[in-house]
Amino acid sequence: MAFSRDPLDELVVPDGTEAQERDLVTDGDVLVGGRATIGFGVRGRNVLAGESAEFGGAIEADGDCRLDMWCDVAENVLVGQDAYIGERVHIGGRLKVAGDLDIGDDVEIEEGFEANGWIVIRNPMPTIVFLFVYLKHLLLIGEDDAAQRLISEIVDEDDDDDEPDAEPLVIPRNATVGDDAWRVSTPATIGDDCRLHGNVRAETIDVGADCNVFGSLRARGDVTVGEGTRIHGDVTTRDGDVVVERDARVLGDVSCADFELGPDAEVDGTIRADGEITMRTTERERE
């Protein structure tokens, strides 16, 4: 996994991510920026959340979980390895840690906690904030190799197995993610084979192949809908272009500058384009 800039400057939904009834489920790590609001619970490998992040459900981490100060989790926090809980964190359910627990001052856990390893109660440094500030500094001064090593340590890329690591789910600072809407002030990239609920609002939006998005897409800039993807809502841009790739379908209206429709793609509603409309054809149709 390589970053050329601050990893929290973009919403990244990796391949295969699903918004289930109550949880946002992914195979890889979950990185949540400070003051983000997640209406779901989250399930992933390692879960790292910045200061004042809020979760509307439970957290289930197969690996480590690190919650910086003033985070709020509505339900249980279940951790397969070690946990770091910053000061003034609130957990509405039970905290259960299979490994070591490092816990700060004034932490409220409504249903108690248990850990199989060492328990250290102290006033720890907000490491998530420190790590990302340090990472941003390294990138600004051009130390890309050092930044890559830091990211590798954060997301534990040096696993013993030979399987490639899954890309992390990244939710930017101040984002709002829930059943109704995914609102970010950054670009948004959604991978292949994802199933999401809610309207997506972002600077630009790139949706991969074979996804189902049960909501509309709205961006200031360009929007791309990948092959075989279904968008159950409108696709709108303020200043950008829209591309709907081969065999994709938009079950709503499209409004944009230039519009490009791939072979066998469909738009069920009205197309409003201030610029050009391009319809790509298959090789057979051109013959």
The predicted pLDDT at position 9 comes to: 84
* Three-class secondary structure of residue 251 per DSSP: coil
CB 147 within 8 A of CB 1: no
Closest CA to 207 of 185, 183, 230: 230
Each residue's pLDDT tens digit, 23-37: 999 999 999 999 999
Measure the CA angle with vertex 50, ends 100 and 91; round to 5°. 60
**Cα(176)–Cα(53) distance, rounded to whole angstroms?**
10
Mean pLDDT throughout 59-65?
96
pLDDT, one tens digit per residue, over 191-247 is 999 999 999 999 999 999 999 999 999 999 999 999 999 999 999 999 999 999 999
CA distance 209 to 16: 11
Kindly report the average pLDDT of the chain as a whole number. 87
Burial of 4 (0-12, 13-18, 19+ CB in 10 A): exposed
Q: What DSSP assignment string belongs to 176-203? A: EESSSEEE-SS-EEE-TT-EEESEEEES
Query: What DSSP designation does 123 have?
Result: -
- DSSP per residue, 210-239: T-EEES-EEESS-EEE-TT-EE-S-EEESS
Distances (CA, A) of 54 to 122, 134, 175: 22, 23, 10
As a whole number of Å, the CA-based R_g of the chain is: 21
pTM of the model: 0.83
CA angle 153, 157, 163 (to 5 degrees): 170
Residue 4 has a pLDDT of: 43
Strand order in 181-183's β-sheet?
Answer: 108-109, 90-91, 72-73, 54-55, 37-38, 176-177, 181-183, 199-202, 217-219, 235-237, 254-256, 271-273
166: closest CA among 194, 143, 197? 194
Q: Is the pLDDT of residue 123 over 70?
A: no
Q: Which of 86-95, 159-168, 224-233 has the lowest mean pLDDT?
A: 159-168
Q: Report how far residue 150's alpha carbon sits from residue 173's, in angstroms, rounded to the nearest whole number.
A: 20
**Helix, strand or coil for residue 148?**
helix
The candidate with the shortest Cα–Cα distance to 89, out of 111, 73, 110, is 73
Q: At 258, list the tokens.
A: 């230039």
- The pLDDT assigned to 121 comes to 77
